[in-house]
Amino acid sequence: MRAALTAVAVLASAGCAQTAAQPTPKVLLIGIDGVRPDVLAEVSTPHIDALAASGWYTDQARTTTPSVSGPSWSSMLTGVWPEKHGVTDNNFTGRDYDTWPGFLTRAERERPELSTFAALDWLPLAELPEGGPVVSAAIDTRVTVDGYDLGWAEADGEVTAQAVLHLAEADPDAMFVYLGNPDETSHRNGSIGVEYRDAIALADRHVGLLIDAVRIRPGLANEDWLVLISTDHGRREDGGHGGDSPEEMTIFILASGLGGAGRPGGAGDPGDPGSAGGGTASTATAGWPAPGPANIVDIAPTALDHLGFEIDPAWGLDGMPLGDPG
């Protein structure tokens, strides 16, 4: 998913072909907590399907050891493994986000003119005493909702509504939206059964609202949105996780484009759901690189790369942009 994949719009003006400026690169990362890829493939998720069918998708990516939310979200957002960022559990002890910032914070450090946004309902990602959090106060706009207090389905709805409103009223360059309901539902019910699957389907509807909000932006033709969707870990059939089994360690990563005249792999119409389930294998369409080995730490470098950052070796990132043969 190299930044060079961004297409240059070619317009005709006064009977003479004229090359327009490159569309402005923008990133929307949607994180859905605790989604097993094989279960995702069995659930009706038309909005995720449409993105996967016309973009880049793998259901064989790997997460952190341990397969727990604190270290996993930290690795997704920073681009480094727990050995560096220091988070090995949900207490976030040992964290070092000053050295290893989240990608939105790093974007602000490097280019403070960028407009950054985050909305989430698992509070430790944005509220920690001293030395953090990974979704830091450097981000221009942060929206936090307490999923435990409001209820996770309702909280995800509020997080989505706030992100949709921001897309309508502001001009964000980089966004992170976190949805926690599937993970909490599976824990609460101790299974990966119907309640968990319904929660995944609801998350897909939230994805659809976010994608629709991008699609109706007046300036979309001059914007090059990279939509990334992933999860932090899988889970066992009893709803637990934290071990190193394939069911707990395997995650999915999806990348697809919206906007920008000539953008390769522009996402399909969510109103045309295609297949009934989520992506069922590693796939790519014309204009996107073929999926290869991928890890949770590749997501932050992919977002930064799309925004036009040269990945500085001094940053010490463990991941690399998706599709990079290096």
Q: Which residue has the higher pLDDT, 132 or 296?
A: 296
Q: Residue 20: which pLDDT band, with cuts at 50, 70 and 90?
A: low
Residue 281: the pLDDT is: 53
* Options 3.40.50.2300, 1.20.1250.20, 3.40.720.10, 2.40.50.140; CATH of 23-315: 3.40.720.10
Using CB atoms within 10 Å of the CB of residue 18, give its burial: 0 to 12 exposed, 13 to 18 middle, 19+ buried.
Answer: exposed
Rounded Cα gap, residues 233 and 313, in angstroms: 27
Q: How many CA atoms lie within 13 A of 172 on its CB side?
A: 28
How much helix, strand and coil, in percent to the nearest 5, is found in the chain? 35, 20, 45
| Contact status, residue 181 vs residue 156, Cβ threshold 8 Å | yes
The residue written with tokens 């939105």 in the block is 104
pLDDT at residue 214 above 60?
yes
Q: Residue 209: which pLDDT band, with cuts at 50, 70 and 90?
A: very high
Rounded Cα gap, residues 302 and 323, in angstroms: 9
Give percent above pLDDT 70 in the chain. 83
Strand partners, 144: 120
**What's 281's DSSP letter?**
S
Rounded Cα gap, residues 78 and 64, in angstroms: 12
pLDDT at residue 114 above 90?
yes
pLDDT digits (tens, 9 = 90+) for 43-72: 999 999 999 998 999 999 999 999 999 999
pTM of model > 0.85: yes
pLDDT digits (tens, 9 = 90+) for 136-161: 999 999 999 999 999 999 999 999 99
| Contact status, residue 122 vs residue 179, Cβ threshold 8 Å | no
The two counts, helices (H) then strands (E), for the chain are: 11, 10
Rounded Cα gap, residues 135 and 54, in angstroms: 30
pLDDT at residue 246 above 90?
yes
